[in-house]
Chain A
Amino acid sequence: MPEKVLLVDDEEDFLETLAERMQVRGMEVSTTTSAREALIKTEQESYDAIVLDLMMPEMDGLEVLKAIKKKNPEMQIILLTGHATVEKGIEAMKLGAMDFIEKPVELETLTEKIKEAQAQKLILVEKQTADKIKKIIQSKAW
């Protein structure tokens, strides 16, 4: 099953090129240069991984991370940045980011992280489904 990925970065050339390289590797990739559009997309669609730039116009990457995690805790978010500091990395991980990678990134490294994200998300979704079924069974007087 192809990994379904959302790429969010305000650098258009970077976004377009990375998306094409990921598509060549069989991934299903959506892109946006807008943080607000990314929030809308995550409400409408489910992704195995979201690769998010830390510094975006309109909204800080950490704000976007918080907003996505609040609505979809199972979403796996990998933060990508050209401005990495240890503090930001720690903050991102505390807010629930799956990983924090510095630009320029090796595509093989990113691909591995995306595969990890897909596996992680699958576990979380399966657990959520199991919990739901358990609740239904407990609430019925069978």
Chain B
Amino acid sequence: MSCQHKNNSWAGFQFFGEMSASISHEIKNALATINETAGLLEDLTLLLEKGKPLEPERFKILAGRIMKQVQRADTIVKNMNRFAHSTDEPVKDVELGETLELMLTLSERFASMRGVKLEPKSPLGPIAITTIPFFLNHLLWLCVDFAMNAAGQGKTVGLLTEETENGPQIRFTRLEGLVGVRTDEFPTQREKTLLDALKAELKVNTEAGELILVLSGNISP
């Protein structure tokens, strides 16, 4: 195995690991709340047995809290499942808006940690592309990660998915901190390898505070 190939595989594993760790953290948070709520229900039942009067409404609220966390965990697991299935086939037809939406959902906790708001704008219609889904997810995450760091004082990243003459593209806008980023800092070799594989191109417009990812509609030869 060549050194370059090893590095590419490692970067892919790193991405998968990073996402899995974040997802498991979210699931644990939901479980922790369910655990405490069940414990509180037990506490209240004991108090009730000892003769302390309690409103039935209290139990309803706590049951609702458990249901809310179960739904939350279910959504997280569904997204995790969609993400895991991105490795099923090397090349596949995907809808770009949906793919971006999934990656943004998986990036939410990272954004929240950095105090950054991700504001996507849905495309006018579905944009179907033939691509390598796992590589596309990986590249989208690297772009989102970079964009969050370049959000500057505004702490907001706008995302526009659109079909253009040059092909489908995603514009990362409102990157106020892009001015301070050196041109050799991004894209790095990690992004360049994915861009090559996806026949894609990254354009950085410092003045407009935008990063544009131009994708190929069909990467098949």
Contacts and interface: CB of A to CB of B under 8 A. Distances in A.
B21 interface: yes
A27 interface: no
- Chain B's interface size range is 20 to 34
> Which applies to chain B's interface (DSSP): helix, strand, loop or mixed?
helix
Nearest to A80: B32
Contacts of B26: 82
Among A21, A56, A58, the one with the most B-chain Cβ atoms within 10 Å of its Cβ is A21
A96 B27 CA distance: 28
A19 to B, nearest CB: 9
A13 B40 contact: no
A39 to B, nearest CB: 16
Nearest to A14: B33
Interface in A22-76: 24, 55-58, 60
B25 interface: yes
A17 B40 contact: yes
A134 interface: no
A140 interface: no
A93 to B, nearest CB: 20
Contact of A103 (B29, B68, B112): B29
Contact of A105 (B32, B62, B113): B32
B40 A11 contact: no
Contacts of A55: 25, 109, 113
Pick the 7 closest A-B CB pairs, nearest first.
A82-B28, A104-B35, A103-B32, A17-B36, A104-B32, A83-B25, A14-B33
B77 to A, nearest CB: 15
Given A21-B43, A24-B47, A105-B32, A13 B37 contact: yes
A28 B28 CA distance: 26
Contacts, number: 65
- Chain A's interface size range is 20 to 34
Interface in B155-180: none
Contacts of B43: 21, 24
A107 B191 CA distance: 45
Interface of B: 21, 24-29, 31-37, 39-40, 43, 47, 62, 65, 68-69, 109, 112-115
A88 to B, nearest CB: 11
A109 B29 CA distance: 18
Contacts of A17: 33, 36-37, 39-40, 62, 65
B43 to A, nearest CB: 5
A91 B99 CA distance: 37
Among A17, A18, A55, A103, the one with the most B-chain Cβ atoms within 10 Å of its Cβ is A17
A55 B110 CA distance: 10
B32 A57 contact: no
